[in-house]
Copies of this chain bind each other. A is one copy, B any other.
Amino acid sequence: MDFEFDQTTEDLRARVRDFLDAEITPAEQVFEEQLSALDDPWAWSTVPVFEELKEKAKTAGLWNLFLPGDKGAGLTNLQYAPLAEITGRSFLAPAVFNCAAPDTGNMEVLNEFGSPQQQEQWLKPLLRGEIRSSFAMTEPDVASSDATNISMRIERDGGDYVINGRKWWITGAMNPEARIFIVMGKTDPSAERHRQQSQILVPRDTPGLIVKRGMEVFGYDDHDHGGHAELEFHDVRVPAGNLIAGEGMGFAIAQARLGPGRIHHCMRSIGLAERAIELMCERADSRVSFGRPLADQGVVRDWIAQSRVRIEQLRLLVLKTAWLMDTVGNKGAHSEIQAIKIVTPETVQWILDKAIQLHGAAGLSQDFPLAKAYAGIRTLRFADGPDEVHIASLARSELRRQRG
């Protein structure tokens, strides 16, 4: 047992952190200004400074760090996890390093399951950061916690597939640069429960695909990373070659993307929490109330100490989960993957709430990143199903384990 990162990881941590501090953080406000000057507020990825940052990141060799194998940086989950934490400190950072969801998951899927032609057409420009993408799974009328509930139909018709149904909360899809959607639907409702679903590639401009509206989270439309779209599919027709990995593989593909995605989300959330703790400490030191700095007040100290204690425990669990994925595989890490899904949003939300409270009403406003961060983390308590589903499932595993 050893709690030190290896040398490769330490080197990359230093380089990613330096790049973040030197290049990305100073550019955040420029990005905001250039974004608000766009004609289409959703087209965030066309903002000039973002393009410049991407080029710098490529040049610095900090590109596609998330992707294992020879097309990416070739890092293990445990090696990439602490880098994801650092990128969580800035809303802009993940995309600058081409490590932003949902593109990362989509690239993983195409890398692992895509046909040579699919990889040529879609994976390559994604890896180069030239286009964006979305993953269309969640549906308005069914509990999205269970992939087998999917109601969207994908039906074979000659050399094509025809797609009908509705999706919502499709992150990134309001951005016109999101050129390609990976869509989850049912090809065979009569098949065995986990073999009914398939995933298929649908280019944005396919006739019948309507991007209906952006969903808001609290009052944010999240246009700075492409929003969350409601989509309608009316007889959307694509060639049969767009199906990924064959009919009935949809559930298996979805499972495969889950593990790494959770590590990324959790570690970025931890980075956010660390940022919040820093802001808390700065505020506690600088603000005086009733004659004493906030840092001297017992309740404030309680928040700071509890935040530190919680985040330390959480990070270790996420890192251990990454290590398990690397050593015994996603299946062997199943309980841990569930555990970090349950505890990360809850922990980080608690810390953000305290950080907000310490900042007074300003903490809720556009003057600090805290309220927006809170909104984002709050959505994680529903991502891939609400907390309660994961809690029940983890309890079932525990009960089974105890029965021996």
The chain A residues found within 8 Å of chain B, CB to CB, are 1-6, 9, 78, 138, 140, 143-146, 169, 215-221, 277-278, 281-282, 284-285, 287-290, 295, 297-302, 304-306, 308-309, 312-314, 316-317, 319-320, 323-324, 335-336, 339, 342-343, 356-357, 360-362, 364-366, 371-372, 374-375, 378-379, 381-382, 386-392, 394-396, 398-399, 402-403
Contact = CB atoms under 8 A, between A and B. Distances in A.
A107 B92 CA distance: 47
A3 B305 contact: no
Contacts of A374: 218
Given A289-B143, A313-B317, A364-B378, A305 B219 contact: no
B299 A388 contact: yes
Contacts of A394: 304-305, 308-309
B298 A219 contact: no
23 contacts: A1-B6, A138-B361, A143-B287, A145-B289, A146-B290, A215-B365, A215-B366, A216-B364, A216-B366, A217-B361, A217-B365, A277-B398, A281-B402, A298-B299, A301-B396, A304-B394, A304-B398, A305-B391, A306-B391, A308-B394, A312-B317, A357-B386, A360-B382
A382 B403 contact: no
Nearest to A366: B216
A25 to B, nearest CB: 16
Given A2-B1, A366-B216, A381-B357, A399 B285 contact: yes
Contact of A320 (B138, B305, B316, B389): B316
Contacts of A297: 298, 388
Contact of A316 (B313, B361, B366): B313
A387 B363 CA distance: 14
Nearest to A358: B386
A372 to B, nearest CB: 7
Contacts of A216: 219, 364-366, 371
A342 to B, nearest CB: 6
Given A281-B399, A320-B3, A339-B308, A357 B387 contact: yes
Contacts of A388: 297-299, 302, 357
Most-contacted residue by chain B among A1, A282, A356, A388 (CB, 10 A): A1
Given A215-B361, A298-B299, A298-B302, 6 more contacts: A1-B323, A219-B219, A219-B220, A284-B399, A304-B394, A308-B395
Nearest to A304: B395
Contact of A339 (B282, B312, B362): B312
A319 B366 CA distance: 36
A365 B144 CA distance: 16
Sorted nearest first, the 8 A-B pairs with minimum C-beta distance are A219-B219, A298-B298, A301-B395, A219-B220, A313-B313, A316-B316, A281-B402, A218-B218
